[in-house]
Amino acid sequence: MGKRILCFGELLLRLGAPGRELLLQSRQLQVHVGGAEANVAVSLARFGHDASMAGTVAANALGEAALGELRRHGVDVTRVRSAPGRMGLYFLATGAGVRPSDVVYDRADSAFALAPPSAYDWPALLDGVDCLHVSGVTPAVGPHSAEAATAAVRAARGQGGLVSFDGNFRPKLWAGWNDRPAPLLHALLAEADIAFIDHRDIDLVLGVDAGEADLPAVSAERTRAASARAFAAFPHLQRIVCTQRDVRSVDAHGLGALLVHRAGAVHRIDAQPVDGIVDRIGAGDAFAAGVLHGVLSGMDDGRALAFGLAAARLKHSVPGDFNLVGASDVSALVDSGRLDVRR
């Protein structure tokens, strides 16, 4: 039986250049609904959980369309409020060859960013919820959303729910209002039971220079060492999980994963091929949703990690921010890895 999960964050409209064009190379843009926490909610709903979204959207046709898209994928949006203002936007030019993808944010003063923290009655919003999921994107949007996110994780902790936190560090957003994000991210991580972070996120939050320049930038050793520092600093934290990505070209990556448990167990999956990439956006959220599904469904940590990695690999084949595969699709990739046509 699925669990009740609440995701708190901003619903966004993504405006993408068609194909591999640069932004406004032609006068067309393709529209998708997304947002880090919404992406997780959609995946969890498709995996059979009772997934809900909390936040604020613009009280106009754009906000209604975004809510309608979440409803279409089985997400409960009754906890999302509407308010005067604008929707947050981001623009995407998908990379090609040696040109990386590029994101331009247009989120300042959105209805979500301007929503006062008092607008969210967290004891009521979290009533009956088994797990709250938030990410580092939400505090990066602005001071109101940062305060609201902190109140949310503290309320969830007080009500005995599982707290899930995805680091999702976005320097372009932080640069718009706060050049010292560590204290705010520290407050969120302090309440988390499971954190989707790597060594860079951990050391940013703790404000340390680990002095591990002799270790590879992407390595299990660095993450294990940083995890020990995080477990010492955050007593609620039980699991640290991350992907390990090897970018060979815009269209071909290798994707591995690592889970470190407070009790000392370490689960690692070596890089698996992700070729012919259609859309990388949302892959980290697909990974987080997959691991959360595994943990909430009673899988052992090794199986939960494998499920999350398979979900992330599949997301690279799905256009848009949402991962529209079901649990059976992910399990099939975990168990057989077969890629032939299903008839």
From CA 115, how far away is CA 184, in angstroms rounded? 18
Q: How many residues does the chain have?
A: 343
Please, what are the averages of pLDDT over each run of 10 residues along the chain (343 residues)? 91 97 96 98 98 98 98 98 98 92 95 98 97 97 98 97 95 93 96 96 88 58 92 98 91 94 96 93 97 97 98 97 97 80 53
Under DSSP, the state recorded for 117 is G
* The pLDDT value given to residue 208: 86
Q: What separation in angstroms does the CA of 285 have from each of 41, 233, 250?
A: 9, 25, 19
CA distance linking residue 84 with residue 62, whole number of Å: 12
Active site residue 285: yes
Which of the following is catalytic: 201, 285, 301, 321?
Answer: 285
> Residue 298 CB: number of other CB atoms within 10 A?
8
State the pLDDT at residue 222: 86
CA-to-CA separations, 113 to 37, 106, 133, 290, in angstroms, rounded: 15, 12, 18, 28
Contact call for residues 276 and 96 (beta carbons, < 8 A): no
pLDDT tens digits, 139-153: 999 999 999 999 999
Distance CA 82, CA 94 (A): 31
Please count the CA atoms within 13 angstroms of the CA of 78 that sit on its side-chain side.
7
Residues 31, 36, 38, 43, Cα dihedral to 10° = 100
Could you tell me which of 81, 87, 85 has the C-alpha nearest to residue 106?
A: 87
Contact by Cβ (8 Å): 215, 203: no
Count CB atoms within 10 A of the CB of residue 315: 31
**220/198 Cα distance (integer angstroms):** 10
Q: What is the pLDDT of residue 249?
A: 86
Q: Which domains does the chain show, CATH number per domain?
A: 4-335 (3.40.1190.20)
CA distances from 151 to 35, 154, 334 (A): 20, 5, 37
Q: Is 139 helix (H, G, I), strand (E, B) or coil?
A: helix
Phi-psi label, residue 180: left if phi above 0, alpha if psi -120 to 50, beta otherwise: beta
Q: What are phi and psi of 170, to 5 degrees?
A: -125, 90
342 CB neighbour count, 10 Å cutoff: 7
Strand partners, 269: 257
Q: Which residues pair with 49 in a beta bridge?
A: none
pLDDT of residue 213: 54
CB 53 within 8 A of CB 41: yes
- What pLDDT is recorded for position 221? 84
Task: Report whether 212 contacts 225 (CB < 8 A).
Answer: yes
pLDDT tens digits along 54-98:
999 999 999 999 999 999 999 999 999 999 999 999 999 999 988
pTM of the entire predicted model: 0.95
In angstroms, the CA 6 to CA 77 distance is: 10
Q: Give the contacts of 228 (CB within 8 A, at least 6 positions apart).
A: none
Count Cβ atoms within 10 A of the Cβ of residue 26 and give its class: 0-12 exposed, 13-18 middle, 19 or more buried: exposed
